[in-house]
Amino acid sequence: MDNFDNSNFSSNANFDQPIPLGEDLDKPIPFDDDDTSDASVSHSPLSLGGSGTAQVPKIEVPKPAVKKVEEKVVSTNRITGVRTFFTKLHPGALDFLDEQITKWLKENPGVMIKRTNTVTGMIQAKKTEPNIIITVWY
């Protein structure tokens, strides 16, 4: 979109014609470092009143400490396995599910249960029916 100068706006202006410029467009744009300005800037180094040579203080970098090789300790809280149990939602099936979980725990005495999750959802078999799904992380 064109940007129009509102200061030269007149009601009978022809907007199809370009705005005339009073400058020569082939003339190069002058840089700001011409000596024509009133303010002068010194480009010489700044003197802060010290000796002629600056001394940079030496910084001692501490040597990194040698770390002892430590034996890796395996956390006993890590989850190492998962087992999922599921059954239909009626009393006989829930009793059977309890027996399954109890039997599995008796057969695996070294299992430490870390987390469990219980959810209901649709399981597809001959028919799609709601089931209870118990996930045991150990």
Radius of gyration, CA atoms only, the chain: 43
User: Which pair of tokens denotes residue 76?
Assistant: 């006993």
Q: Is residue 19 pLDDT above 70, yes or no?
A: no
As given in the structure block, the two tokens for residue 20 are 């005339």
Judged by DSSP in three states, 96 sits in helix
Question: What phi-psi label fits residue 93: left (phi over 0), alpha (psi between -120 and 50 degrees) or beta?
Answer: alpha
pTM for the full model? 0.45
pLDDT number for residue 64? 77
Please give the mean pLDDT across all residues of the chain: 78
CB atoms within 10 A of CB 83: 15
Give tens-digit pLDDT for 78-105. Answer: 888 999 999 999 899 999 999 999 999 9
The label of the residue with tokens 């870390």 reads 114
Domain-wise residue ranges, the chain: 82-137
- With cut-offs at 50, 70 and 90, classify the pLDDT of residue 43: confident
Least confident of 7-21, 35-49, 53-67, 122-136: 7-21
